[in-house]
Amino acid sequence: MRETIRFVRRGQIVEISNFDPMTTLLDHLRLAEGATGTKEGCGEGDCGACTVAIGRTVKDRVVYEPVNACIQLLGMVDGAEIVAVEDLAEGSALHPVQSAMVEKHGSQCGFCTPGFVMSLFTLYQSTEGPVTRSTINDWIAGNLCRCTGYRPIVEAAVAACSGERADRFRTANADTAGILSFLNDERDVFIGDDQRFFAAPASIDGLAALYEQHPSAVIVSGATDVGLWITKQLRDIPKIIHIGRVPGLDGIEDTGRELLIGAAATYADVEPYARAIDPDLGELFRRIGSKQVRASGTVGGNVANGSPIGDTPPALIALGATLELRRGTRSRVMPVEEFYIDYGKQNRASGEFVTGLMIPHLKEGQVFRCYKVTKRFDQDISSVMGAFSFTLAADGTVREARIAYGGMAGIPKRAKGAESALLGASIRDSAVWSKAFAALKEDFTPMSDHRASAAYRAETAHALLGKALLEAAGAPTSRTRLIGRREALHAAE
């Protein structure tokens, strides 16, 4: 066991042995290091002012991803390289991204600028050759600016990424990868005592044993939700178990029949596999949070958290996905829909945790659609999330229907009445649609909150079912969607 965390800063190994389990990376940078270029804005991973780059080895190469330092726990960066805005320039020579921001007048008040610079730094490191404006817009969707405007910032990104990529981080990539490999010693990390600790087990058996011993501990993977418990809800979380060091929990395997996802696999890593199952599923993943959120947040965490407005559970339920749970040495498997019992309550025993998910590929004749309705298109929480799976015979008869919604009840839930109304009928029969709409009203009694009224949710759920039926019956999405069409996933630039 190791009683310290270790990471790389400016080419040097930093080792820390004493910190509170709830310490955020942002607080460490600003308060302990005095690296105040990283700003504190919203405190919930929404504005991007706190963006830093985290480097980890992937196939013997360091890959840099943006993260929100305000909700990234310090202990989670064990074994990684941390790059903040102060680290980019070499003396008086600015980094190409910084130079482009100056030349294109990409900053006014400057508060948001460090976060933008760091997001564009990860774009610079992660791509080769010129990048499109749509790619840039997606990359900075998690960074807010209210005085400069996005045009000069996008132009700075275009300029910085227009030529050959050459900076000292690329030059030192192999050396940095070697240092990070040295830090990966495969030992359990435990800092604190039995009453208050941060732990990062290095094996699935170690994780199971520790959680069985401390079932009141909070399991953290990406902390994109738990981080808000700390910064917004001001909860005291004395025991934190991070699963990011457990080998295999971040694994993804496509068997051809099903997609197997480890509980610590991030949205960013799963997205291309999800898109291969269905374009709508891939687009759903692309719209979950921002680049910063998708680089840290996990599908397993989204499911285990049990939020009634979580993005992935309705889609997973409609697809008939299953999850695996483990407690001690025992494991069990259940359909995702059976995991949710009531608001804030899951079908999970004390000391039991989610280890992975299985999503089946679409079968012949199966049509899948999912729609996320939010107040703003990018980086927002669902008001209503609808997912629909129809298995059709050659003549259009509905052999199976699975309809699931988020935001319509205290848990993600199937619309069993609407499903029954469609079974055995033609997908093109408008009279059957009317029966399904009527049944849908009986399936849910939505509530009103600050995101949407009950009436809005009921009407939107009705409209989404109608859109899914229309598309399943053969209507092109050019008739049913303004953007995100399946025939062309993004609007023209």
* Residues 332-358: tens digit of each pLDDT: 999 999 999 999 899 999 999 999 999
Q: What is the distance between the alpha carbons of residues 398 and 428, in angstroms, rounded to a whole number?
A: 10
What gap in Å lies between CA 443 and CA 251, rounded to an integer?
Answer: 37
Domains and CATH numbers, the chain: 5-86+172-242 (3.10.20.30), 96-166 (1.10.150.120), 252-360 (3.30.465.10), 366-480 (3.30.390.50)
What pLDDT digit, counting tens, does each position of 89-139 carry? Answer: 999 999 999 999 999 999 999 999 999 999 999 999 999 989 999 999 999
Tens digit of each residue's pLDDT (9 = 90 or more) over 432-483 = 999 999 999 999 999 999 889 999 999 999 999 999 999 999 999 999 998 8
Q: Does the pLDDT at position 378 exceed 50?
A: yes
Q: Which residue has the tokens 């290095």?
A: 202
The pLDDT value recorded for residue 484 is 79
Q: How far apart are CA 142 and CA 297, in angstroms?
A: 14
Task: Please count the other Cβ atoms lying within 10 Å of the Cβ belonging to residue 354.
Answer: 26
Of the candidates 16, 17, 18, 40, the residue with the CA atom closest to the CA atom of residue 27 = 40
Backbone angles phi, psi at 433, to 5 degrees: -60, -45
Residue type, 15: E
Identify the three-state secondary structure at position 308.
Answer: coil
Strands 218-220 and 189-192: unpaired
Does residue 491 have a pLDDT over 80?
Answer: no
What percent of the chain clears pLDDT 70, i.e. is strictly above it? 99
**3-state helix vs strand vs coil in the chain, percent to 5:** 35, 25, 40
Please check whether residue 69 is in contact with residue 38, taking contact to mean a CB–CB distance below 8 angstroms. Answer: yes
What is the 8-class DSSP label of residue 339? G
What DSSP designation does 74 have? G
Task: Identify the band that residue 493 occupies on the pLDDT scale cut at 50, 70 and 90.
Answer: very low
User: Among 308, 244, 328, which Cα is nearest to 444's?
Assistant: 308
Q: From the centroid of its chain, how far is CA 146?
A: 25
Query: Which amino acid, 469?
Result: L
- The span from the CA of 223 to the CA of 219, in Å, is 9
Strands 81-83 and 197-200: what pairing? unpaired
pLDDT (tens digit per residue) in 153-168: 999 999 999 988 999 9
Supply the pLDDT for residue 489: 53
pLDDT (mean) for 60-83? 97
Q: At what angle do helices 113-126 and 96-103 cross, to 10 degrees?
A: 130
Percentage, residues of the chain above pLDDT 90: 93
Q: What is the DSSP string of 371-433?
A: EEE-SSSSS---SEEEEEEEEE-TTSBEEEEEEEEESSSSS-EE-HHHHHHHTTSBTT-HHHH
Contact (Cβ atoms closer than 8 angstroms) between residue 414 and residue 406: no
Instruction: Identify the CA nearest to 83 among candidates 9, 13, 30.
Output: 9
Angle at 221 between CA 126 and CA 323, to 5 degrees: 105
pLDDT digits (tens, 9 = 90+) for 170-190: 999 999 999 999 999 989 999
Strand order through the sheet with 12-16: 12-16, 5-9, 81-83, 51-58, 61-68
